[in-house]
Amino acid sequence: MEGTENFFVNLSNPVNATIADGQGVGTIIDDDALLLLNQTGSTRAVAFDSVTFVAETLPIITERNFSSDHRTRLMVFAIGLKLANGEPASAITATAEDSTGTVRPLAVEFVITVPNFPWLTQVNLILTDQIVPGDAKIRISLHGQTSNPVLVNLKAQ
């Protein structure tokens, strides 16, 4: 693993233009590491309800879900998630550590490469009704490698 690297780009001496902010930050993401996307400057997940596409706070159980169990399907996004050819989504394990520190397994419903972004993978997780509402730390694991934890705020309903 090489680690994620940041670099700065400085702009100067414009021709027929004005520079409002002369410095930008670029990030090179280590795509060998298993990372869940988080919001800039935060450990909060980039995560959505897979039916409503609403971000947090998300209900654990919802009548808006069309499945028989009415559990929310949580979409999270990963970098460096590489299933072998023919390897099923069940090879990935996922957990949620709730506000009491209890770690609960989450079922991985499906995994798909995000169209036009071959380096980004969408992972749908089924929330369990045993999670205590509040901030939950979500992690995924594959082939002995575990992702960074990301926070998702969950409510009873």
pLDDT in tens, 36-49: 999 998 999 999 98
* Predicted pLDDT of residue 80: 93
Q: For residues 109 and 111, give the distance between their C-alpha atoms in angstroms, rounded to a whole number.
A: 7
Q: For residues 61 and 157, give the distance between their C-alpha atoms in angstroms, rounded to a whole number.
A: 6
Residue for token pair 């957990």: 95
Residue 139 lies in a domain: yes
pLDDT in tens, 79-132: 999 999 999 999 999 999 998 999 999 999 999 999 999 999 999 999 988 889
Structural domain boundaries, residue 131: 31-155
Pair of tokens at residue 5: 């690297």
Q: Give the DSSP letter string of 1-22.
A: ----EEEEEE----SSS--S--
Looking at the predicted structure, is the pLDDT value of residue 137 above 70? yes
CATH number for 99: 2.60.40.10
Q: How many domains does the chain have?
A: 1
pLDDT in tens, 145-155: 999 999 999 98
